[in-house]
Amino acid sequence: MKIRSSLFLTILLGASTLFSQNNVLKSAFENRLQKDEITRSHVTPVKIIWQSDTEGKQVTNSEVLLTRFDGQLSTSGAGMCMLRSDDDKQASVLLDFGTELYGGIEIAAAIRGEKKPIKVRVRLGESVSEAMSDAIDNSHPGMQSATNEHSLRDFTLEIPWLGTVETGNSGFRFVRIDLLDKEVELPLRSVRAIARYRDIPYLGSFKSSDERLNKIWETGAYTVHLNMQDYLWDGIKRDRLVWVGDMHPEVMTINSVFGDNEVIRKSLDFAQDTTPLPGWMNGISSYSLWWIIIHRDLYLHQGDMAYLKAQQAYLKKLIPQITAKVAGGKENLDGGRFLDWPTAENEDVIHSGLQALTLLTMEAGADIATWLGDQELKNLCIATAKSLKKHAPSDQGNKQAAALLSLVNLMPAKKAADVILKDGANDFATFYGYYMLEALAKAGKYQEAMDIISDYWGAMLDLGATTFWENFVYAERVNASRIDELSLSDKFDIHADGGAHCYIGLRGSLCHGWASGPTSWLTAYVLGIKVLEPGSKVIQIRPNLGNLRYAEGTYPTPYGIIKVKHVKQANGKINTTVHAPKEINVIK
């Protein structure tokens, strides 16, 4: 018999009477209900990396954990994976789910003789090394730290008799389970991951004659997708926060892959709502600059005037706050002075970068003011930009500084390219590597940029990555063990022994959206798709294939999908085919 909705709501809400009007109950329910925007799906592991014995004493029939489970236990205990721990040896198993994911795990325990819950230890890891490590107190300097900060990755759990338990959430690919109780048997039917993600289509695409570049494009897209949770996060294991500066590469990737998505506006609004002026977003002055730049790029691609107008009041206070920090053509920003971690201890480089970023912000502000019809704000941005152009600081031989200075014409593009290309992928960075690629494109160094993408981001794939990392030192790839293998003593453990700054060792995130730069770059410069007017109403298509034989793909706009295909002819000329919505003016 169906329960009437009014009775259902009454029971659910714990109301004292069954005679309340349905609309009152419905209203009360909706006020308390927070709808989850995120989809849940179960994932079966693909491989057993390691188990504590192979003699059938502590772990037996572990292969059953690799078989599909429909979620329903039965009273039959046949065919289960059995874990047995005693005083001499502990039962342990390490599972590989095949790809990085965000979420938790579900453990389904079968029937057994005793009904008392059994304790297990669960360790989640983005690498095998992390899943096999202990969580430690990160206050000890220099320790290779797999911590429980931001999300639990090492914890004890009680498993019920003939029941299922769920736990999480974190970013991980590997799960180790240890049976802690002694002289007991734990029959397991299943250990499944619970993947949490936005169920949205990949509207953009990229395919070329270079499969390595294709995989890099896809990996960058997937990296950002995992970070599109309730808000747009920096990382899914650590830094599950809205870091505004870090969002810019992610927003550009979302524009190229998913098109318009509410998570961007939601996160930008969160940053504004939690930063009353004269504060700086995340306590970092450059992050308030990036907030303005993101709004310019978002409107250029999506053309949401109502949303842009909603930012006007805040912008009219924030931009004068920034311009007040410019004196004699030099930026003098206070708050946290930060570009990215590899440059965090070089004040001269930080000044060079902030000088360029402040100018870039004024240019973005002038664009926004033009679109809003705010002449006073536009004049302020133009005047401040003119002043900033009078001071061109040194690039200090630094790739980050050279890239930013080049993008605002405070440094010749060719000279910046020489700095960026020195020693190839060495000294590249996952975050600001995107702007280095942008600067190379400005100098016409398209093939050189593709080579760097293949070398630097491709090296992470060679080491087993399925998402791109918070930090990667290119030289550390030499004699490094893969993240999906047990680390050998004669190999460099790329996760445990690498990293610096705030991401020393296993604390480092192996899924960071700021590392997705090649995805939007390949779309913009290889497919050659460049938005010229707000709302993608005018798009220029000028491919740069370099050594590629062909490249094709799609690009999402507010009016629908653009499809392009470029094929290099025998004479070196490129034959281009474009299919675009009728509302878009395509310029070749």
Q: What is the pLDDT of residues 59-79, one digit of tens each?
A: 999 999 999 999 999 999 999
Say how far apart CA 497 and CA 502 lie, in whole Å: 14
Segment 512-522, tens digit of pLDDT:
999 999 999 99
Residue type for position 510:
L
Spatial separation of the C-alpha atoms in residues 47 and 61, rounded to whole Å: 13
Counting beta carbons within 10 angstroms of the beta carbon of residue 529, is it exposed (0 to 12), middle (13 to 18) or buried (19 or more)?
buried
Sketch out the chain's domains with CATH numbers.
5-33 (no CATH), 40-197 (2.60.120.260), 205-470+509-533 (1.50.10.10)
CA distances 354 to 277, 284, 287, 343, Å, are 20, 11, 11, 12
Q: Residue 391 has what pLDDT?
A: 97
In sequence order, the 6+-apart residues with CB closer than 8 A to the CB of 136 are 143, 145, 146, 147
Q: Which long-range contacts (CB under 8 A, 24 or more apart) does 361-364 make?
A: 361/289, 361/292, 361/293, 361/322, 362/322, 362/323, 362/388, 363/408, 364/292, 364/293, 364/295, 364/296, 364/297
| CA 26/CA 33 separation, integer angstroms | 10
pLDDT > 90? residue 29: no
pLDDT, residue 146, reads 72
Rounded mean pLDDT, 244-270: 98
Instruction: Tell me what percent of the residues of the chain surpass a pLDDT of 90.
Output: 85
Beta bridge partners of 555: 562
Q: Can you give the pLDDT at residue 35? A: 77
SS3 state of residue 68: coil
Find the mean pLDDT for residues 328-335: 97
Return the half-sphere exposure (C-beta side, CA atoms, 13 A cut-off) of residue 153: 33
- Flag whether pLDDT at 9 surpasses 80: no
Provide the pLDDT for residue 404. 98
Higher pLDDT pick, 213 / 22: 213
Residue 454 DSSP symbol? I
Q: Round to whole Å and give the CA distance between 512 and 528.
A: 26
For position 2, what pLDDT does the model report? 42
The mean pLDDT of 262-287, rounded to a whole number, is 98
Q: Answer yes or no: are the C-beta atoms of 302 and 260 closer than 8 Å.
A: yes
Q: In Å, how far are 388, 422, 441, 531, 559 from 298, measured between CA atoms?
A: 25, 33, 21, 11, 15
Nearest to 515 by CA among 466, 476, 482: 466
Lateral strand order in the sheet of 529-533: 529-533, 538-541, 585-587
Give the pLDDT of residue 145. Answer: 65
Question: pLDDT, tens digit, for every residue of 393-446?
Answer: 999 999 999 999 999 999 999 999 999 999 999 999 999 999 999 999 999 999
10 pLDDT exceeds 50? no
Q: For residue 123, how many other CB atoms are within 10 A of its CB?
A: 23
Rounded-to-integer distance, Cα 527 and Cα 91, Å: 52
- Whether residue 13 is predicted with pLDDT greater than 70 in this model: the reply is no
DSSP structure string for 211-273: HHHHHHHHHHHHHHHHHBSSSB-SBSSS--S--HHHHHHHHHHHHHHT-S-HHHHHHHHHHHH
Give 148's pLDDT tier (boundaries 50, 70, 90). Answer: confident
How much of the chain exceeds pLDDT 70, in percent? 93
pLDDT at 3: 40
The structure tokens 């188990």 sit at: 51
Q: Find the farthest-apart pair of alpha carbons in the chain and give their distance in angstroms, rounded.
A: 83
**Mean pLDDT across the chain:** 93
Asked if 114 and 120 count as a contact pair (C-beta separation under 8 A), the reply is no
Q: Is the pLDDT of residue 374 over 50?
A: yes
* Range in 3-17, 156-170, 327-341 with the lowest mean pLDDT: 3-17
d(CA 445, CA 437): 9
* Secondary structure (H, E, C), 483-503: CCCCCCCCCEECCCCCCCHHH
Distance CA 222, CA 226 (A): 6
What is the per-residue pLDDT for 15? 45
Average pLDDT for residues 536-544, to the nearest whole number?
98
The beta strands (E) that lie in 440-570 are given as: 480-481, 492-493, 529-533, 538-541, 550-557, 560-568
DSSP calls for 136-173: --TTSTT---B--SSS--EEEEEEPTTEEEEEEEEEEE
Q: Residue 172's pLDDT is what?
A: 97
**Side chain identity, residue 175:** V
Q: Residues 84-130: pLDDT tens digits?
A: 998 889 999 999 999 999 999 999 999 999 999 999 999 999 999 99
| Spatial distance between the Cα atoms of 577 and 575, rounded to a whole number of angstroms | 7
Tell me the pLDDT tens digit for each residue of 340-361. 999 999 999 999 999 999 999 9
Q: How confident is the model at residue 23 (pLDDT cuts 50, 70, 90)?
A: low
Dihedral in degrees, nearest 10, Cα atoms 472, 478, 484, 485: -150
Q: Kindly give, in sequence order, each residue whose CB lies less than 8 Å from that of residue 569, ignoring residues fewer than 6 positions away.
A: 575
269-307 burial, b for 16+ CB within 10 Å, e for fewer?
ebbbeebeeeebbbebbbbbbbbbbbbbbbbbbbbbeeb
Compute the residue count for the chain.
588
**In a 3-state reduction of DSSP, which class is residue 135?**
strand
Q: 499 pLDDT band (50/70/90 cuts)? A: confident
pLDDT score for 12: 46
- The Cβ-side half-sphere exposure at 356, using a 13 Å CA radius, reads 24
Q: What is the DSSP letter of 293?
A: H
- Looking at the predicted structure, is the pLDDT value of residue 135 above 90? no
- Residue 415 has a pLDDT of 98
The structure's pTM equals 0.93
The pLDDT of residue 320 is: 98
548 burial (CB, 10 Å; 0-12 / 13-18 / 19+) is buried
Could you tell me whether strands 560-568 and 326-327 are parallel, antiparallel, or unpaired per DSSP bridges?
unpaired
Note the pLDDT of residue 26: 58
Rounded Cα distance, 81 and 104, in Å: 20
pLDDT digits (tens, 9 = 90+) for 375-392: 999 999 999 999 999 999
587 alpha carbon, distance to own chain's centre: 32
24 pLDDT band, cuts 50/70/90, is: low
pLDDT for res 25: 54
Q: What is the mean pLDDT of residues 554-568?
A: 98
